[in-house]
Protein backbone atom coordinates (compact mmCIF):
# COMPACT_ATOMS: atom_id res chain seq x y z
CA UNK A 1 0.00 0.00 0.00
CA UNK A 2 1.33 3.45 -0.93
CA UNK A 3 2.19 5.63 2.07
CA UNK A 4 0.14 8.82 2.49
CA UNK A 5 1.70 11.86 0.87
CA UNK A 6 2.63 13.52 4.18
CA UNK A 7 4.38 10.39 5.47
CA UNK A 8 6.34 9.97 2.23
CA UNK A 9 7.29 13.65 2.14
CA UNK A 10 8.42 13.66 5.78
CA UNK A 11 10.64 10.63 5.14
CA UNK A 12 12.34 12.41 2.24
CA UNK A 13 12.79 15.58 4.28
CA UNK A 14 14.54 13.65 7.05
CA UNK A 15 17.38 12.83 4.64
CA UNK A 16 17.99 16.55 4.08
CA UNK A 17 17.07 17.93 7.50
CA UNK A 18 17.74 15.15 10.05
CA UNK A 19 17.82 17.55 13.01
CA UNK A 20 14.42 19.15 12.29
CA UNK A 21 10.78 18.21 12.96
CA UNK A 22 10.11 16.91 9.47
CA UNK A 23 6.46 16.08 10.14
CA UNK A 24 5.85 19.76 10.83
CA UNK A 25 7.94 20.80 7.82
CA UNK A 26 5.94 18.41 5.61
CA UNK A 27 2.71 19.99 6.87
CA UNK A 28 4.04 23.46 5.99
CA UNK A 29 5.03 22.39 2.49
CA UNK A 30 1.71 20.69 1.80
CA UNK A 31 -0.19 23.73 3.06
CA UNK A 32 1.92 26.03 0.88
CA UNK A 33 1.24 23.85 -2.18
CA UNK A 34 -2.46 23.44 -1.35
CA UNK A 35 -2.16 19.65 -1.09
CA UNK A 36 -3.99 17.23 1.22
CA UNK A 37 -1.83 15.02 3.49
CA UNK A 38 -3.31 11.86 1.97
CA UNK A 39 -3.58 13.08 -1.65
CA UNK A 40 -3.37 10.23 -4.15
CA UNK A 41 -0.19 10.02 -6.27
CA UNK A 42 -0.25 10.26 -10.09
CA UNK A 43 0.11 7.03 -12.08
CA UNK A 44 3.73 5.79 -11.99
CA UNK A 45 5.97 5.73 -15.10
CA UNK A 46 3.59 7.91 -17.07
CA UNK A 47 4.92 9.43 -20.30
CA UNK A 48 3.64 13.00 -20.50
CA UNK A 49 4.86 13.26 -24.09
CA UNK A 50 4.76 11.53 -27.46
CA UNK A 51 6.26 11.81 -30.94
CA UNK A 52 4.37 15.06 -31.61
CA UNK A 53 6.24 16.94 -28.90
CA UNK A 54 8.76 19.54 -30.09
CA UNK A 55 10.05 22.39 -27.92
CA UNK A 56 11.01 25.93 -28.93
CA UNK A 57 13.54 27.76 -26.72
CA UNK A 58 13.44 31.56 -26.77
CA UNK A 59 13.84 34.69 -24.73
CA UNK A 60 10.68 36.68 -24.13
CA UNK A 61 12.13 39.60 -26.10
CA UNK A 62 13.93 37.83 -28.97
CA UNK A 63 11.24 39.12 -31.33
CA UNK A 64 10.38 42.80 -31.12
CA UNK A 65 7.72 45.05 -32.66
CA UNK A 66 7.55 48.81 -32.20
CA UNK A 67 4.84 49.82 -29.72
CA UNK A 68 4.15 46.26 -28.56
CA UNK A 69 5.24 44.19 -25.56
CA UNK A 70 7.59 41.38 -26.65
CA UNK A 71 5.43 38.60 -25.13
CA UNK A 72 2.54 39.76 -27.34
CA UNK A 73 4.85 39.78 -30.37
CA UNK A 74 6.17 36.32 -29.51
CA UNK A 75 2.66 34.89 -29.15
CA UNK A 76 1.61 36.27 -32.53
CA UNK A 77 4.69 34.80 -34.22
CA UNK A 78 4.03 31.42 -32.60
CA UNK A 79 0.41 31.50 -33.75
CA UNK A 80 1.20 32.55 -37.30
CA UNK A 81 4.29 30.43 -37.97
CA UNK A 82 4.63 27.61 -35.45
CA UNK A 83 1.19 26.57 -34.21
CA UNK A 84 1.34 23.20 -36.01
CA UNK A 85 5.11 22.87 -35.65
CA UNK A 86 5.89 22.97 -31.95
CA UNK A 87 3.96 21.68 -28.94
CA UNK A 88 5.85 23.51 -26.18
CA UNK A 89 7.69 26.78 -25.73
CA UNK A 90 10.45 27.42 -23.21
CA UNK A 91 10.44 31.12 -22.43
CA UNK A 92 13.76 31.85 -20.74
CA UNK A 93 13.50 33.88 -17.49
CA UNK A 94 10.83 36.52 -17.99
CA UNK A 95 11.08 37.97 -14.48
CA UNK A 96 12.60 41.30 -13.34
CA UNK A 97 16.37 40.81 -13.33
CA UNK A 98 19.64 42.66 -12.81
CA UNK A 99 22.09 40.72 -15.05
CA UNK A 100 22.82 37.56 -17.08
CA UNK A 101 19.86 38.16 -19.44
CA UNK A 102 17.36 37.07 -16.81
CA UNK A 103 19.23 34.56 -14.66
CA UNK A 104 19.82 37.04 -11.83
CA UNK A 105 16.18 37.17 -10.74
CA UNK A 106 15.02 40.08 -8.59
CA UNK A 107 11.42 38.93 -8.09
CA UNK A 108 10.29 35.37 -8.81
CA UNK A 109 6.60 36.27 -8.69
CA UNK A 110 6.52 39.11 -11.20
CA UNK A 111 6.79 39.37 -14.97
CA UNK A 112 9.33 41.88 -16.27
CA UNK A 113 7.18 44.89 -17.18
CA UNK A 114 9.23 45.49 -20.31
CA UNK A 115 8.25 41.99 -21.54
CA UNK A 116 4.54 41.98 -20.71
CA UNK A 117 2.23 40.61 -18.02
CA UNK A 118 1.15 37.37 -16.40
CA UNK A 119 -1.91 37.53 -18.65
CA UNK A 120 0.39 37.42 -21.69
CA UNK A 121 2.16 34.39 -20.19
CA UNK A 122 -1.17 32.67 -19.53
CA UNK A 123 -2.35 33.26 -23.09
CA UNK A 124 0.76 31.53 -24.45
CA UNK A 125 0.27 28.72 -21.92
CA UNK A 126 -3.27 28.31 -23.24
CA UNK A 127 -1.99 27.51 -26.73
CA UNK A 128 1.29 25.67 -26.00
CA UNK A 129 2.79 23.70 -23.15
CA UNK A 130 4.81 26.28 -21.27
CA UNK A 131 8.29 25.68 -19.85
CA UNK A 132 9.65 28.20 -17.37
CA UNK A 133 12.90 28.45 -15.46
CA UNK A 134 12.96 27.84 -11.75
CA UNK A 135 16.17 29.76 -11.09
CA UNK A 136 16.67 27.88 -7.87
CA UNK A 137 20.40 28.05 -7.13
CA UNK A 138 20.88 31.80 -6.84
CA UNK A 139 19.15 35.17 -6.79
CA UNK A 140 20.03 38.75 -7.70
CA UNK A 141 22.14 40.79 -5.30
CA UNK A 142 19.61 43.57 -6.01
CA UNK A 143 16.60 41.52 -4.90
CA UNK A 144 14.47 42.38 -1.86
CA UNK A 145 15.57 39.15 -0.19
CA UNK A 146 19.23 40.14 -0.49
CA UNK A 147 18.56 43.68 0.68
CA UNK A 148 16.93 42.11 3.74
CA UNK A 149 20.00 39.90 4.12
CA UNK A 150 22.11 43.04 4.36
CA UNK A 151 19.69 44.59 6.83
CA UNK A 152 19.54 41.31 8.81
CA UNK A 153 15.73 41.11 8.68
CA UNK A 154 13.25 38.56 7.31
CA UNK A 155 12.40 37.40 4.72
CA UNK A 156 15.97 37.04 3.54
CA UNK A 157 18.12 37.26 6.67
CA UNK A 158 19.26 33.63 6.44
CA UNK A 159 18.29 32.92 2.82
CA UNK A 160 21.79 33.11 1.30
CA UNK A 161 24.73 30.76 1.71
CA UNK A 162 27.71 32.05 3.65
CA UNK A 163 31.22 30.69 4.10
CA UNK A 164 34.58 31.84 5.36
CA UNK A 165 37.75 32.43 3.31
CA UNK A 166 39.37 30.15 5.88
CA UNK A 167 37.15 27.20 4.86
CA UNK A 168 38.63 24.42 2.76
CA UNK A 169 37.20 25.25 -0.66
CA UNK A 170 39.91 23.54 -2.70
CA UNK A 171 37.61 20.76 -3.94
CA UNK A 172 34.77 23.03 -5.10
CA UNK A 173 33.87 22.51 -8.77
CA UNK A 174 33.62 25.89 -10.51
CA UNK A 175 31.85 26.79 -13.76
CA UNK A 176 33.40 30.29 -13.81
CA UNK A 177 36.68 32.14 -13.15
CA UNK A 178 35.10 34.81 -10.89
CA UNK A 179 35.66 34.74 -7.09
CA UNK A 180 33.60 32.11 -5.27
CA UNK A 181 33.18 34.18 -2.09
CA UNK A 182 32.30 37.86 -2.10
CA UNK A 183 32.43 40.15 0.95
CA UNK A 184 29.20 41.98 1.77
CA UNK A 185 28.70 44.70 4.36
CA UNK A 186 25.64 44.00 6.51
CA UNK A 187 24.06 45.62 9.56
CA UNK A 188 26.09 43.29 11.79
CA UNK A 189 29.39 43.40 9.95
CA UNK A 190 31.11 41.91 6.93
CA UNK A 191 29.90 38.54 5.68
CA UNK A 192 31.13 36.39 2.81
CA UNK A 193 28.41 35.12 0.45
CA UNK A 194 28.78 32.22 -1.98
CA UNK A 195 28.55 33.14 -5.67
CA UNK A 196 28.82 30.15 -8.00
CA UNK A 197 28.29 32.23 -11.14
CA UNK A 198 28.84 35.95 -10.49
CA UNK A 199 28.92 38.57 -7.77
CA UNK A 200 25.40 39.60 -8.79
CA UNK A 201 24.08 36.02 -8.49
CA UNK A 202 24.19 35.04 -4.81
CA UNK A 203 23.59 31.39 -3.96
CA UNK A 204 20.54 30.52 -1.86
CA UNK A 205 20.83 28.58 1.38
CA UNK A 206 18.65 25.48 1.23
CA UNK A 207 20.01 24.37 4.59
CA UNK A 208 17.39 26.85 5.84
CA UNK A 209 14.08 25.00 5.23
CA UNK A 210 12.26 28.31 4.94
CA UNK A 211 13.93 28.74 1.53
CA UNK A 212 12.39 25.44 0.43
CA UNK A 213 8.98 26.61 1.65
CA UNK A 214 9.40 29.86 -0.28
CA UNK A 215 10.11 27.91 -3.46
CA UNK A 216 7.08 25.70 -2.89
CA UNK A 217 5.00 28.88 -2.99
CA UNK A 218 6.78 30.07 -6.12
CA UNK A 219 6.15 26.72 -7.83
CA UNK A 220 2.47 26.81 -6.93
CA UNK A 221 2.19 30.29 -8.39
CA UNK A 222 3.81 29.16 -11.65
CA UNK A 223 1.45 26.19 -11.87
CA UNK A 224 -1.54 28.48 -11.39
CA UNK A 225 -0.27 30.70 -14.22
CA UNK A 226 -0.08 27.72 -16.60
CA UNK A 227 3.54 26.54 -16.35
CA UNK A 228 3.72 22.78 -16.92
CA UNK A 229 7.44 22.18 -17.50
CA UNK A 230 9.92 23.31 -14.85
CA UNK A 231 13.54 23.78 -15.86
CA UNK A 232 15.63 23.58 -12.69
CA UNK A 233 18.45 25.96 -13.57
CA UNK A 234 21.97 25.12 -12.31
CA UNK A 235 20.44 22.67 -9.86
CA UNK A 236 23.59 20.53 -9.54
CA UNK A 237 25.15 23.25 -7.32
CA UNK A 238 22.16 23.56 -4.96
CA UNK A 239 23.63 22.14 -1.73
CA UNK A 240 26.99 23.31 -0.42
CA UNK A 241 29.35 21.81 2.16
CA UNK A 242 32.89 23.22 2.43
CA UNK A 243 35.42 20.44 2.07
CA UNK A 244 33.40 18.77 -0.71
CA UNK A 245 33.06 19.47 -4.48
CA UNK A 246 29.72 21.19 -3.72
CA UNK A 247 28.16 19.64 -6.82
CA UNK A 248 25.81 16.63 -7.11
CA UNK A 249 25.60 16.24 -3.32
CA UNK A 250 23.03 13.77 -2.02
CA UNK A 251 20.93 16.53 -0.49
CA UNK A 252 20.59 18.07 -3.96
CA UNK A 253 19.19 14.82 -5.35
CA UNK A 254 16.80 14.52 -2.39
CA UNK A 255 15.55 18.08 -2.87
CA UNK A 256 14.81 17.32 -6.54
CA UNK A 257 12.78 14.29 -5.43
CA UNK A 258 10.86 16.49 -2.97
CA UNK A 259 10.11 19.12 -5.62
CA UNK A 260 8.96 16.43 -8.05
CA UNK A 261 6.69 14.89 -5.41
CA UNK A 262 5.03 18.24 -4.73
CA UNK A 263 4.72 19.28 -8.36
CA UNK A 264 3.26 16.06 -9.73
CA UNK A 265 0.77 15.74 -6.85
CA UNK A 266 -0.44 19.26 -7.61
CA UNK A 267 -0.61 18.82 -11.40
CA UNK A 268 0.08 15.22 -12.57
CA UNK A 269 0.92 16.19 -16.16
CA UNK A 270 3.70 18.56 -15.04
CA UNK A 271 7.32 17.75 -15.75
CA UNK A 272 10.69 18.51 -14.14
CA UNK A 273 13.75 19.06 -16.35
CA UNK A 274 17.19 19.33 -14.75
CA UNK A 275 19.76 21.66 -16.31
CA UNK A 276 23.09 20.04 -15.42
CA UNK A 277 25.86 20.99 -17.84
CA UNK A 278 28.31 18.34 -16.64
CA UNK A 279 30.07 15.20 -17.91
CA UNK A 280 27.68 12.61 -19.31
CA UNK A 281 27.88 10.04 -16.50
CA UNK A 282 27.17 12.72 -13.90
CA UNK A 283 24.28 14.06 -15.94
CA UNK A 284 22.58 10.64 -16.09
CA UNK A 285 22.36 10.46 -12.29
CA UNK A 286 19.59 13.07 -12.35
CA UNK A 287 17.10 10.47 -13.53
CA UNK A 288 17.50 8.86 -10.09
CA UNK A 289 15.34 5.75 -10.04
CA UNK A 290 12.76 7.47 -12.25
CA UNK A 291 11.96 9.62 -9.20
CA UNK A 292 14.04 12.76 -9.86
CA UNK A 293 13.99 14.51 -13.24
CA UNK A 294 11.38 13.40 -15.74
CA UNK A 295 13.69 14.78 -18.44
CA UNK A 296 17.41 15.53 -18.58
CA UNK A 297 19.21 17.61 -21.18
CA UNK A 298 21.44 15.62 -23.55
CA UNK A 299 24.36 17.97 -22.94
CA UNK A 300 26.92 15.80 -24.74
CA UNK A 301 24.98 15.93 -28.01
CA UNK A 302 25.80 19.52 -29.15
CA UNK A 303 29.61 19.33 -28.96
CA UNK A 304 29.77 15.75 -30.23
CA UNK A 305 27.45 16.41 -33.17
CA UNK A 306 29.25 19.61 -34.16
CA UNK A 307 32.58 17.77 -33.88
CA UNK A 308 31.22 14.96 -36.06
CA UNK A 309 30.11 17.29 -38.82
CA UNK A 310 33.25 19.42 -38.93
CA UNK A 311 35.56 16.38 -38.90
CA UNK A 312 33.47 14.12 -41.15
CA UNK A 313 33.97 11.31 -38.64
CA UNK A 314 31.20 9.92 -36.43
CA UNK A 315 33.30 7.58 -34.25
CA UNK A 316 32.84 9.52 -31.00
CA UNK A 317 29.17 10.28 -31.63
CA UNK A 318 28.50 6.61 -32.34
CA UNK A 319 30.43 5.45 -29.27
CA UNK A 320 28.47 7.88 -27.09
CA UNK A 321 25.13 6.81 -28.55
CA UNK A 322 25.87 3.15 -27.87
CA UNK A 323 26.65 4.00 -24.24
CA UNK A 324 23.41 5.87 -23.57
CA UNK A 325 20.93 3.82 -21.53
CA UNK A 326 17.32 3.70 -22.75
CA UNK A 327 15.32 6.02 -20.53
CA UNK A 328 12.79 4.30 -18.27
CA UNK A 329 9.12 4.90 -18.98
CA UNK A 330 8.17 8.18 -17.39
CA UNK A 331 11.59 9.65 -18.19
CA UNK A 332 13.30 10.77 -21.37
CA UNK A 333 16.01 12.99 -22.85
CA UNK A 334 15.75 16.54 -24.15
CA UNK A 335 17.79 16.67 -27.35
CA UNK A 336 19.17 20.04 -28.38
CA UNK A 337 22.16 21.21 -30.39
CA UNK A 338 22.06 24.92 -29.58
CA UNK A 339 20.77 27.08 -26.76
CA UNK A 340 21.02 30.56 -25.25
CA UNK A 341 24.28 29.41 -23.64
CA UNK A 342 27.40 28.25 -25.40
CA UNK A 343 28.38 24.78 -26.54
CA UNK A 344 29.49 23.13 -23.30
CA UNK A 345 32.86 21.38 -23.26
CA UNK A 346 32.62 19.64 -19.87
CA UNK A 347 30.06 17.17 -21.32
CA UNK A 348 32.82 15.94 -23.64
CA UNK A 349 35.00 14.84 -20.71
CA UNK A 350 35.80 11.17 -21.26
CA UNK A 351 34.44 11.38 -24.81
CA UNK A 352 36.97 13.61 -26.59
CA UNK A 353 40.64 13.79 -25.66
CA UNK A 354 42.43 17.11 -25.07
CA UNK A 355 43.82 17.31 -28.60
CA UNK A 356 40.37 16.68 -30.11
CA UNK A 357 38.82 19.33 -27.88
CA UNK A 358 41.48 21.81 -28.90
CA UNK A 359 40.92 21.06 -32.59
CA UNK A 360 37.20 21.69 -32.10
CA UNK A 361 37.94 24.96 -30.30
CA UNK A 362 40.35 26.06 -33.03
CA UNK A 363 37.79 25.26 -35.73
CA UNK A 364 35.03 27.19 -33.95
CA UNK A 365 37.34 30.17 -33.44
CA UNK A 366 38.15 30.13 -37.16
CA UNK A 367 34.39 30.39 -37.80
CA UNK A 368 34.09 33.43 -35.52
CA UNK A 369 33.39 31.70 -32.22
CA UNK A 370 34.71 32.69 -28.79
CA UNK A 371 35.70 30.60 -25.76
CA UNK A 372 34.63 31.04 -22.12
CA UNK A 373 36.68 29.58 -19.28
CA UNK A 374 36.20 28.09 -15.82
CA UNK A 375 38.55 27.87 -12.84
CA UNK A 376 39.71 24.28 -12.22
CA UNK A 377 40.63 22.83 -8.81
CA UNK A 378 44.33 23.28 -9.57
CA UNK A 379 43.79 27.01 -10.05
CA UNK A 380 44.22 26.98 -13.81
CA UNK A 381 41.61 28.28 -16.24
CA UNK A 382 40.20 25.65 -18.59
CA UNK A 383 37.89 26.02 -21.63
CA UNK A 384 34.29 25.74 -20.43
CA UNK A 385 32.14 26.53 -23.45
CA UNK A 386 32.30 27.73 -27.04
CA UNK A 387 30.17 30.78 -27.81
CA UNK A 388 28.95 30.68 -31.40
CA UNK A 389 25.73 30.59 -33.41
CA UNK A 390 25.05 27.08 -34.65
CA UNK A 391 24.67 28.19 -38.27
CA UNK A 392 28.20 29.62 -38.21
CA UNK A 393 29.56 26.66 -36.24
CA UNK A 394 28.72 24.49 -39.24
CA UNK A 395 29.99 26.75 -42.02
CA UNK A 396 32.85 24.41 -42.92
CA UNK A 397 35.17 21.63 -41.83
CA UNK A 398 38.20 21.40 -39.56
CA UNK A 399 40.48 20.54 -42.47
CA UNK A 400 39.03 22.58 -45.30
CA UNK A 401 37.60 25.66 -43.62
CA UNK A 402 34.44 27.39 -44.82
CA UNK A 403 32.72 25.84 -47.85
CA UNK A 404 29.43 25.84 -49.75
CA UNK A 405 27.86 23.00 -47.70
CA UNK A 406 26.93 25.19 -44.72
CA UNK A 407 23.14 24.96 -45.07
CA UNK A 408 23.23 21.23 -45.90
CA UNK A 409 25.47 20.55 -42.90
CA UNK A 410 23.16 22.64 -40.68
CA UNK A 411 20.07 20.73 -41.84
CA UNK A 412 21.84 17.40 -41.38
CA UNK A 413 22.55 18.27 -37.74
CA UNK A 414 18.89 18.97 -37.05
CA UNK A 415 17.73 15.91 -38.96
CA UNK A 416 19.87 13.75 -36.68
CA UNK A 417 18.53 15.52 -33.58
CA UNK A 418 14.92 15.09 -34.69
CA UNK A 419 15.25 11.32 -35.01
CA UNK A 420 17.08 10.49 -31.78
CA UNK A 421 15.45 8.96 -28.70
CA UNK A 422 14.05 11.84 -26.68
CA UNK A 423 12.21 15.12 -27.27
CA UNK A 424 13.76 17.57 -29.77
CA UNK A 425 14.23 21.19 -28.69
CA UNK A 426 15.03 24.02 -31.12
CA UNK A 427 16.65 27.25 -30.01
CA UNK A 428 14.82 29.96 -31.94
CA UNK A 429 18.05 31.22 -33.53
CA UNK A 430 18.72 27.75 -34.92
CA UNK A 431 15.21 27.49 -36.29
CA UNK A 432 15.86 30.85 -37.99
CA UNK A 433 19.52 30.10 -38.89
CA UNK A 434 20.68 33.34 -37.26
CA UNK A 435 24.40 34.10 -37.60
CA UNK A 436 26.93 35.32 -35.03
CA UNK A 437 25.87 38.67 -33.57
CA UNK A 438 29.17 40.48 -33.03
CA UNK A 439 27.50 43.86 -32.50
CA UNK A 440 25.38 42.60 -29.62
CA UNK A 441 28.41 40.86 -28.11
CA UNK A 442 30.41 44.10 -28.23
CA UNK A 443 27.53 46.14 -26.79
CA UNK A 444 27.00 43.84 -23.79
CA UNK A 445 30.62 42.84 -23.25
CA UNK A 446 29.47 39.22 -22.79
CA UNK A 447 30.59 36.40 -25.09
CA UNK A 448 27.26 34.57 -24.85
CA UNK A 449 25.53 37.51 -26.52
CA UNK A 450 27.00 36.33 -29.83
CA UNK A 451 24.08 33.88 -29.97
CA UNK A 452 21.39 36.02 -28.33
CA UNK A 453 20.29 38.24 -31.22
CA UNK A 454 17.04 40.13 -31.32
CA UNK A 455 14.95 40.29 -34.48
CA UNK A 456 12.59 43.10 -35.45
CA UNK A 457 9.46 41.21 -36.44
CA UNK A 458 8.90 43.11 -39.69
CA UNK A 459 12.50 42.45 -40.75
CA UNK A 460 12.16 38.78 -39.87
CA UNK A 461 8.94 38.42 -41.84
CA UNK A 462 10.56 39.99 -44.91
CA UNK A 463 13.57 37.70 -44.54
CA UNK A 464 11.44 34.56 -44.21
CA UNK A 465 9.37 35.64 -47.23
CA UNK A 466 12.51 35.79 -49.39
CA UNK A 467 12.93 32.28 -50.87
CA UNK A 468 16.60 32.99 -51.66
CA UNK A 469 17.63 33.78 -48.07
CA UNK A 470 19.29 31.00 -46.08
CA UNK A 471 17.00 31.92 -43.17
CA UNK A 472 13.93 31.16 -45.29
CA UNK A 473 15.41 27.95 -46.70
CA UNK A 474 16.37 26.65 -43.25
CA UNK A 475 13.08 27.66 -41.60
CA UNK A 476 10.95 26.06 -44.34
CA UNK A 477 12.90 22.81 -44.44
CA UNK A 478 13.10 22.46 -40.67
CA UNK A 479 9.34 22.95 -40.38
CA UNK A 480 8.83 20.29 -43.06
CA UNK A 481 11.12 17.82 -41.26
CA UNK A 482 9.38 18.50 -37.94
CA UNK A 483 5.99 17.85 -39.53
CA UNK A 484 7.23 14.48 -40.84
CA UNK A 485 8.71 13.55 -37.47
CA UNK A 486 5.51 14.34 -35.55
CA UNK A 487 3.56 11.72 -37.53
CA UNK A 488 5.89 8.75 -36.84
CA UNK A 489 5.19 6.41 -33.88
CA UNK A 490 8.78 5.14 -34.17
CA UNK A 491 9.92 8.63 -33.16
CA UNK A 492 8.13 8.48 -29.81
CA UNK A 493 10.67 9.75 -27.25
CA UNK A 494 10.72 6.31 -25.59
CA UNK A 495 10.69 4.17 -28.73
CA UNK A 496 13.46 1.59 -29.15
CA UNK A 497 16.80 2.79 -30.52
CA UNK A 498 19.83 0.82 -31.74
CA UNK A 499 23.05 2.17 -33.22
CA UNK A 500 24.03 1.04 -36.73
CA UNK A 501 27.61 0.40 -37.86
CA UNK A 502 28.00 1.79 -41.36
CA UNK A 503 31.52 3.22 -41.28
CA UNK A 504 32.88 6.50 -40.00
CA UNK A 505 31.25 8.77 -42.60
CA UNK A 506 27.73 7.40 -42.14
CA UNK A 507 25.94 7.93 -38.83
CA UNK A 508 22.94 5.67 -38.49
CA UNK A 509 20.50 4.27 -35.97
CA UNK A 510 17.27 2.31 -35.98
CA UNK A 511 14.05 3.29 -34.24
CA UNK A 512 11.07 1.01 -33.65
CA UNK A 513 7.66 2.07 -32.36
CA UNK A 514 6.52 0.74 -29.00
CA UNK A 515 3.78 -1.29 -30.73
CA UNK A 516 6.42 -2.60 -33.14
CA UNK A 517 4.30 -1.58 -36.11
CA UNK A 518 6.88 0.84 -37.55
CA UNK A 519 10.63 0.73 -38.09
CA UNK A 520 12.70 3.69 -39.27
CA UNK A 521 16.35 3.42 -40.31
CA UNK A 522 17.84 6.89 -39.84
CA UNK A 523 20.94 7.23 -42.00
CA UNK A 524 23.02 10.39 -42.38
CA UNK A 525 26.04 11.21 -44.52
CA UNK A 526 28.10 13.36 -42.16
CA UNK A 527 30.85 14.01 -44.73
CA UNK A 528 31.39 16.31 -47.69
CA UNK A 529 31.82 13.34 -50.04
CA UNK A 530 29.34 11.04 -51.77
CA UNK A 531 28.68 7.86 -49.78
CA UNK A 532 27.21 4.61 -51.13
CA UNK A 533 25.47 2.13 -48.83
CA UNK A 534 24.48 -1.40 -49.72
CA UNK A 535 20.91 -1.93 -48.56
CA UNK A 536 21.88 -5.42 -47.45
CA UNK A 537 24.06 -3.76 -44.77
CA UNK A 538 20.96 -2.14 -43.30
CA UNK A 539 19.00 -5.40 -43.20
CA UNK A 540 15.63 -4.13 -44.43
CA UNK A 541 12.92 -6.79 -44.10
CA UNK A 542 12.09 -8.02 -47.58
CA UNK A 543 8.36 -8.47 -46.99
CA UNK A 544 7.88 -4.82 -46.07
CA UNK A 545 7.56 -1.85 -48.40
CA UNK A 546 10.18 0.79 -47.62
CA UNK A 547 10.08 4.50 -48.33
CA UNK A 548 12.32 7.43 -47.49
CA UNK A 549 10.09 9.72 -45.43
CA UNK A 550 12.22 12.77 -46.25
CA UNK A 551 12.25 12.53 -50.05
CA UNK A 552 9.16 10.36 -50.50
CA UNK A 553 11.08 7.93 -52.72
CA UNK A 554 10.23 4.24 -52.46
CA UNK A 555 12.98 1.64 -52.15
CA UNK A 556 12.34 -0.85 -54.95
CA UNK A 557 15.46 -3.05 -54.99
CA UNK A 558 16.47 -4.25 -51.53
CA UNK A 559 19.51 -5.97 -53.05
CA UNK A 560 20.78 -2.68 -54.44
CA UNK A 561 22.32 0.36 -52.83
CA UNK A 562 21.63 4.01 -52.17
CA UNK A 563 23.99 6.91 -52.78
CA UNK A 564 23.90 9.82 -50.35
CA UNK A 565 25.02 13.29 -51.37
CA UNK A 566 27.16 15.23 -48.89
CA UNK A 567 25.14 15.69 -45.68
CA UNK A 568 22.08 14.00 -47.15
CA UNK A 569 19.83 12.13 -44.72
CA UNK A 570 17.22 9.42 -45.22
CA UNK A 571 14.56 8.06 -42.89
CA UNK A 572 13.75 4.62 -44.34
CA UNK A 573 10.37 3.53 -42.99
CA UNK A 574 8.17 0.49 -43.53
CA UNK A 575 5.16 2.70 -42.94
CA UNK A 576 4.65 5.74 -45.16
CATH number at residue 560: 2.60.40.1180
Count Cα neighbours of 343 within 13 Å in the Cβ-side half-sphere.
27
Q: Exposure string (b/e) for 79-104, b if CB count within 10 Å is 16 or more?
A: eebbeebbbbbbbbbbbbbbbbbbbb
The answer to whether the beta carbons of residues 196 and 234 sit under 8 Å apart is yes
Residues 306 and 157 in one domain: no
Distance CA(377)–CA(356), nearest Å, equals 22
Identify whether 39 is part of a domain: no
- Return the pLDDT at 2: 63
Distance CA(343)–CA(364), nearest Å, equals 10
The per-residue DSSP string of 312-358 comes to T--HHHHHHHHHPPPPPTT-EEEE-S--SS-EESGGGBTTB-HHHHH
DSSP class of 244 = S
Which among 180, 202, 224 is the end of a domain? 202
Identify whether 334 is part of a domain: yes
Phi, psi for 423 (deg, rounded to 5): -105, 125
- SS3 (DSSP) at 101: helix
Q: Residue ranges for the binding site for substrate? A: 100, 138, 231-233, 340-341, 448
Residues 265 and 414 in one domain: yes
- Return the pLDDT at 305: 98
Residues 431 and 460 in one domain: yes
Helices 301-311 and 315-323 pack at an angle, to 10 degrees, of 150
- Return the pLDDT at 389: 98
Residues 114 and 218 in one domain: yes
Distance CA(123)–CA(501), nearest Å, equals 47
Segments in the chain below pLDDT 50:
1
233 among known catalytic residues? yes
Residues 6+ apart with CB under 8 A from 378: none
Residues 193 and 211 in one domain: no
> Exposure of 253 by Cβ count < 10 A (0-12 exposed, 13-18 middle, 19+ buried)?
buried
- Return the pLDDT at 376: 85
Which among 184, 202, 220 is the end of a domain? 202
Residues 150 and 122 in one domain: no
Residues 271 and 334 in one domain: yes
Residues 127 and 164 in one domain: no
- Return the pLDDT at 353: 96
Residues 436 and 541 in one domain: no
Residues 564 and 484 in one domain: no
Distance CA(132)–CA(405), nearest Å, equals 36
Of 114, 92, 147, residue with least CA distance to 452: 92
Domain count along the chain: 3
Q: Residue ranges for the binding site? A: 100, 138, 231-233, 340-341, 448
Distance CA(437)–CA(289), nearest Å, equals 42
Phi, psi for 563 (deg, rounded to 5): -110, 125
CATH number reported for the structural domain that contains residue 410 in this entry: 3.20.20.80
Of 440, 443, 463, 464, residue with least CA distance to 452: 440
Identify whether 21 is part of a domain: no
Query: Which domain does 411 fall in, by range?
Result: 55-139+204-368+387-491
Of 309, 474, 497, residue with least CA distance to 399: 309
CATH number reported for the structural domain that contains residue 167 in this entry: 3.90.400.10
Residues 436 and 566 in one domain: no
Identify whether 414 is part of a domain: yes
Identify whether 399 is part of a domain: yes
Identify whether 31 is part of a domain: no
Of 120, 133, 203, 233, the active-site residue reads 233
Characterize the bridge pairing of strands 129-134 and 88-91: parallel
- Return the pLDDT at 576: 73
Phi, psi for 383 (deg, rounded to 5): -55, 130
Peptide bond into 155 cis (omega under 30): yes
Distance CA(101)–CA(437), nearest Å, equals 15
Residues 147 and 241 in one domain: no
Of 421, 397, 352, 367, residue with least CA distance to 505: 397
Residues linked to residue 426 through DSSP beta bridges, in sequence order: 56
Identify whether 100 is part of a domain: yes
Which among 472, 491, 510 is the end of a domain? 491
Distance CA(163)–CA(168), nearest Å, equals 10
Amino acid sequence: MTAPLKVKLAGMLEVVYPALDCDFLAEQLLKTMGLAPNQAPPPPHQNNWDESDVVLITYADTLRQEGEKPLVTLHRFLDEHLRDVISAVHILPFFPYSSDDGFAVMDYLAVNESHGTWEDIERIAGDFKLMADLVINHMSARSRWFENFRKRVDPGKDYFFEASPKDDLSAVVRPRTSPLLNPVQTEDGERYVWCTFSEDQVDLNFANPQVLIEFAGIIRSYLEHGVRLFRLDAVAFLWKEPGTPCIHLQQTHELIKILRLLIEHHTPESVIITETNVPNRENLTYFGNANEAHIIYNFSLPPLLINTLVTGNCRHLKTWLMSMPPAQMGTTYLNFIASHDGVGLRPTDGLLDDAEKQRLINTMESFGGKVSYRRAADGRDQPYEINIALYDALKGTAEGGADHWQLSRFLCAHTIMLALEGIPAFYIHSLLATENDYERMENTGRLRSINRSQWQLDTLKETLADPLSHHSKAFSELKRLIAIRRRQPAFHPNATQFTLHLGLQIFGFWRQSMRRDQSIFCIHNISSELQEIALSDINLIGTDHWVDLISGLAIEDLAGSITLKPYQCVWLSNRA
